[in-house]
Structure 1
């Protein structure tokens, strides 16, 4: 069921799947990405496993409200507050929080700032370290040369038409894909075109989210205080958030568990979805279940 919820002064689009009486899983998507970027198959697996699935568009993405960052700047902590307001609007006292990429960073902020609202935490292809504004990557890691080349093309020859912007995103998706699954350009194009039609100004989403990430705190020395049981899922071929970032995240959270996925990049590829869903269902099961 689709609906809009007023949260933290922002109108957020969300979709709920499954029985409202089941334990809630809040899916938090990443930089510039929409809630619908969570694969339908993954959502269906979680729902079939007895979970109420909630996916939503962060502010400045998809069908949710947008802001002028210059006059209303925000950080990942504000996006965490948005998520809490969404749970309030849905009448959810506490949820299992699952975040991907920047969404995993938001999920950490939720666990830090609102620990009573987080039953478990799952971070997928994410990190605790701040992003270095000089290199565009997480502190402690080096920028993948393929991403450096893509960045350079965006700066020296930026796309000016819709077709060029879509092709640029396809090129980025290819870099992020990893070797676990062969890259399907036609399917990727369909997904990007669908998202572009749904979102409107996707450049606005990316720009504002990048500014929010840059303005946010480094959580490396803070996440040791997270008390929620934590699972970290990370691909061994992630060029955006290198695997060492996932390993460091899991090691820094007391009791954190790292689940590597060989060959996965900075994506949620179809071959990995059954394993990811099964891991999340195990992680979110009650101790006596």
Structure 2
């Protein structure tokens, strides 16, 4: 099972508890750092631009390196977009597809959100603050990420500021300032094709998991994605935002295990 993480996030953003539940369910779990994240190499985007199709090819290259012919592909957020591209470009490598808090829509450069949705006012406020008062120190960078995490958390569980800060600081220690990563990934998403009409050709059994309180990729994006892929199953998670909160992990793991058990290796 290949886990593909989202914009600016490292492979370690996949919760250990979720990975453990998938492992206990009999899956061999692989999580990794996308290009420009974590311990992977950094890219001068102006000199070497890339799109989500390139990141999809990276993932298939990883499967090649691991000697894996086909995998259950699970993507979160931008990782779900990459997972769609894997299924479109390399259908024989995808046993099943799971997209969590994701979309097939293109990112509108004018609005900063996915076509068909509007940017939430709280995100607009956060965007404005980053532009007017760019973080200048490590602590300010961590605080900015913490503020964003709070906005995206949803109501399923109380926001745990201490634990979230610890995770952000851990990732910062592992890979340094993620501003470069986030900027490049935004460029990659904006430069990528709209998949709204393309995903109808996906033949891999597909599961769409989406929080009802997602402010980054609103729930209608997940509903539209599921409607566009023939035979797909939509699982709403009440109160979940654009995150993977601890109370939702047993349900998410159970749904993924059920979905992937229908297709053998």
TM-score, structure 1 as length reference: 0.91
1:35 to 2:18 alignment: no
SS at the partner of 1:134? coil
Which is bigger in relative contact order (C-alpha 8 A, separation at least 6)?
2
How far did 1:201 drift?
3.0
Alpha-carbon distance, 1:273 to partner: 0.2
Q: How many Å separate the matches in 2 of 1:158 and 1:68? A: 21
- After superposition, what is the alpha-carbon deviation per residue over 1:121-140, rounded to whole angstroms, capped at 9, x for unaligned? 00000000000001110001
| Consecutive aligned runs of 4 or more in structure 1 exceeding 4 Å deviation | none
Give the Cα–Cα distance (whole angstroms) in 2 for the partners of residues 39 and 151 of structure 1: 26
* CA root-mean-square deviation: 1.1
Structure 2 gaps, min length 5: none
User: Alignment partner of 1:142: what SS?
Assistant: coil
What residue number does 2:163 align with? 187
1:218 CA displacement = 0.3
What TM-score does the superposition give when structure 2 sets the normalisation length?
Answer: 0.99
In the alignment, what sits opposite 2:237? 261
SS in 2 for 1:52: coil
- Give the distance between the partners of 1:192 and 1:201, measured in 2 at CA: 11
Match of 1:45?
21
Task: Structure 1: give runs of 5+ residues left out of the alignment.
Answer: 1-24
C-alpha distance in 2 between matches for 1:229 and 1:252 = 13
- Paired residues of 2:10 and 2:33 also in contact (CA < 8 A): yes
Partner of residue 62 from structure 1, selected from 28, 38, 44: 38
- Contact residue 138 and residue 177 of structure 2 kept, 8 A: no
The question of 1:270 aligning with 2:246 is answered yes
- Equivalent position of 1:206 in the other structure: 182
> Which residue is equivalent to 2:103?
127
How many equivalent residue pairs?
Answer: 265
